[in-house]
């Protein structure tokens, strides 16, 4: 019997170029935002399956495990990617178990392609549902502030605009990599009156623009209903909450990290100094560049999910019910 660590080491070389390219694009943020990352990761797994030269089902599955390991390592604060990859791997595993010796590598390849197709369709259905629920939740003539670039928030704002509910939007530029500029451009292209401002002007902008609601995306949701999202989210949420402005986070329930039910902590991804210093060098100056921060549940009014609008305190119960997890809390 080959020890697992030898197998894993050997398998790393079997991850196909397409997966390695997607890993690179996720790491560099060419693919950004939790949903896009998760969708790309599942697509990568399907590509790994498609391009596999494994001679037997066991090697085929080991290759998929290696690809999933490599993908998960690209961004540590992405439970949606981990949950989605786990679901796909579980699907393959149970088919292998059920059909045993009669299952061929070719059949598994086809099943993986189907699984990816269903996953993408399901993600689209969820996004449409969240957009509808979120747009309905916004007040008429809404003045909304958002931070970073969330495809889920975009869907809500575009849908709200279609039904004539958006007066204007304010976007923070989102240092250090300026994802807020993508949001501002897309909103403005959709015909929404859009203003961009520096992150540190969020409080001033809330007053100046009479903001009715603050809308964030989500990278992770913990069992206590805390939100992990782009760095700067927690400050904006606290300011809005103390000013009595509703704070929403739009998220599929797949962003829930089940490990937090048993005391696991969502690690925060730290990124390189070059992103902060933009090519300049300050000798002996250290850089602190966290990608995300944690916003306590008490500063979130509600999560807008495909299951409906959930209060942060009730999210873990709703999700445990949905996934049939025994909730230790």
**In the range 6-35, which residues lie near ligand RUB by CB under 6 A?**
29, 32-35
Which residues does 282 contact at the CB level (< 8 Å), separation at least 6? none
User: Which of 151, 222, 223, 241: binder of ligand RUB (CB under 6 A)?
Assistant: 151
Active site residue 148: yes
Q: Are strands 194-197 and 166-172 parallel, antiparallel or unpaired?
A: parallel
What is the nearest approach in angstroms of ligand RUB to the Cβ of residue 328? 27
CA-CA distance, 61 to 316, in Å (whole number)?
Answer: 32
Give 116 or 252: the residue with its C-beta nearer to ligand RUB: 252
Q: Please identify which of the residues 16, 23, 143, 219 carries the catalytic annotation.
A: 219
Give 92 or 149: the residue with its C-beta nearer to ligand RUB: 149
Which residues does 292 contact at the CB level (< 8 Å), separation at least 6? 77, 219, 220, 228, 229, 230, 231, 233, 268, 269
What is the nearest approach in angstroms of ligand RUB to the Cβ of residue 34? 3
| 218 is an interface residue for ligand RUB by CB under 6 A | yes
Bond into 51 cis (ω within 30): no
What is the nearest approach in angstroms of ligand RUB to the Cβ of residue 268? 11
Give 61 or 216: the residue with its C-beta nearer to ligand RUB: 216
CB 10 within 8 A of CB 58: no
Burial of 103 (0-12, 13-18, 19+ CB in 10 A): middle
| 182 is an interface residue for ligand RUB by CB under 6 A | no
Q: Are strands 292-295 and 247-250 parallel, antiparallel or unpaired?
A: unpaired
What is the nearest approach in angstroms of ligand RUB to the Cβ of residue 50? 25
Active site residue 293: no
DSSP track, 201-221: GHHHHHHHTT--EEEE--SEE
Q: Please identify which of the residues 16, 143, 148, 171 carries the catalytic annotation.
A: 148
| 230 is an interface residue for ligand RUB by CB under 6 A | yes
| 291 is an interface residue for ligand RUB by CB under 6 A | yes
CA-CA distance, 292 to 264, in Å (whole number)?
Answer: 17
Give 219 or 266: the residue with its C-beta nearer to ligand RUB: 219
Contacting residues toward ligand RUB, per CB under 6 A: 29, 32-36, 148, 150-152, 179, 217-219, 229-230, 291
Positions marked active-site: 148, 219
């Amino acid at each position: 019997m080959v020890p697992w660590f030898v197998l894993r080491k050997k398998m790393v070389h079997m991850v196909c170029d397409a997966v390695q390219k997607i890993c690179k694009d996720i790491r560099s943020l060419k693919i950004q935002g939790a949903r896009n990352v998760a969708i790309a990761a599942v697509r990568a797994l399907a590509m790994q399956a498609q391009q596999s030269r494994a001679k037997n089902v066991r090697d085929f599955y080991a290759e998929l495990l290696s690809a999933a390991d490599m993908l998960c390592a690209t961004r540590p604060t992405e439970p949606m990617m981990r949950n989605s990859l786990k679901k796909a791997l579980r699907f393959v595993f149970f088919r292998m178990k059920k059909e045993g010796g009669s299952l061929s590598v070719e059949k598994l390849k086809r099943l993986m392609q189907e699984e990816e197709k269903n996953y993408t369709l399901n993600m689209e259905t969820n996004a449409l549902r969240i957009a509808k629920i979120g747009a309905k939740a916004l007040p008429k003539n809404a003045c909304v502030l958002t931070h970073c670039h969330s495809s889920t928030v975009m869907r809500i704002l575009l849908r709200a605009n279609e039904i004539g509910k958006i007066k204007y939007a304010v976007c923070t530029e989102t240092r250090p990599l300026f994802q807020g500029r993508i949001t501002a451009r897309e909103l403005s292209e959709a015909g929404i009156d859009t203003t961009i401002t520096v992150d540190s002007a969020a409080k001033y902008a809330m007053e100046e623009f009479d903001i009715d609601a603050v809308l964030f995306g989500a990278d992770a949701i913990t069992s206590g209903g805390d939100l992990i999202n782009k760095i700067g989210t927690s400050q904006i949420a606290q300011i809005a909450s103390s000013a009595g402005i509703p704070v929403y986070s739009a998220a599929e329930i797949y962003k829930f990290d089940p490990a937090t039910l048993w005391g696991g902590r969502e690690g925060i991804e730290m990124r390189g100094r070059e992103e902060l210093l933009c090519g300049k060098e300050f000798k002996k100056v250290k850089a602190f560049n966290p990608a995300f921060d944690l916003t306590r549940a008490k500063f979130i009014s509600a999560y807008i999910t495909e299951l409906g609008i959930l209060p942060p305190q009730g999210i873990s119960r709703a999700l445990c019910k949905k996934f049939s997890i025994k909730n230790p809390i």
